[in-house]
């Protein structure tokens, strides 16, 4: 739902780095999104096409690398992946768990022409 503000941030960061590197054009943008970060790729792409228009990033292809969610049990230290829903530790049954992967949300890199 908040993809517009998020997409604006992506554009701001990409433009800044493109200018610092004297780019003529940005061709590709690589974004890392954890599965728990509640960001929808299609929605970002939709806003991207509109707001990047006429900028140095116009026409750049967005690549989304999804990171699956992973939890660590605070009692037995077992690490396991969280699929469809939140679940207690499959080894010892403890509900004391910590999310260790899946909340990532960062701009990894851009590809530029210069």
Partner 1 sequence: MTVQRIPIIEKIMDANDQIAANNQKKLDDAGIFAINLMASPGAGKTSLILQTIRALAPDLKIGVIEGDTAPVTIDADKVLAEGMPAVQINTGGECHLDAMMISNALDQLPLDSIDLLIVENVGNLICPAAFKLGTHTNVLIASVPEGDDKPYKYTNIYRGLEVLVVNKIDLLPYIPFNMDYFRQGVELLNPGLVTFPISCSSGEGVTAWITWLQGRVKQQKSRGK
Q: Is 114 helix (H, G, I), strand (E, B) or coil?
A: coil
Under the criterion CB under 8 A, does residue 108 sit at the interface with partner 1?
yes
Q: Provide the strand spans (E) within the chain.
A: 25-34, 61-67, 70-73, 79-81, 97-101, 105-113
d(CA 14, CA 37): 20
For partner 1, the closer CB: 91 or 109: 109
80: β partners? 71
Rule CB under 8 A: say whether 12 interacts with partner 1: yes
The two tokens of residue 73 are 């049990």
Binding mask 50-89 for partner 1 (x = CB under 8 A): ------------------------x----------xxxx-
CA distance linking residue 7 with residue 67, whole number of Å = 19
Binding mask 27-46 for partner 1 (x = CB under 8 A): x---x----xxx--------
Task: Give 18's DSSP letter.
Answer: H
96 interacts with partner 1 by CB under 8 A: yes
Size, binding site for partner 1 by CB under 8 A: 36
Interface contacts to partner 1, rule CB under 8 A? 1-2, 5-6, 9-10, 12-13, 17-18, 21, 24, 27, 31, 36-38, 74, 85-88, 95-97, 99, 105-114
């Amino acid at each position: 739902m908040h993809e517009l503000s998020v997409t604006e941030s992506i554009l701001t960061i990409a433009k800044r780095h493109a200018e610092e590197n004297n780019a003529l054009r940005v061709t590709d943008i690589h974004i890392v999104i954890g599965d728990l970060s509640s960001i929808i790729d299609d929605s970002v792409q939709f806003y991207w096409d509109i707001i990047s228009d006429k900028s140095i990033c116009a026409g750049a292809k967005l690549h989304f690398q999804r990171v699956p969610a992973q939890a660590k049990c605070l009692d037995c230290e077992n690490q396991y992946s969280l699929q469809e829903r939140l679940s207690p530790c499959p080894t010892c049954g403890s509900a004391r768990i910590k999310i260790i992967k899946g909340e990532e949300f960062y701009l990894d890199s851009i590809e530029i022409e210069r």
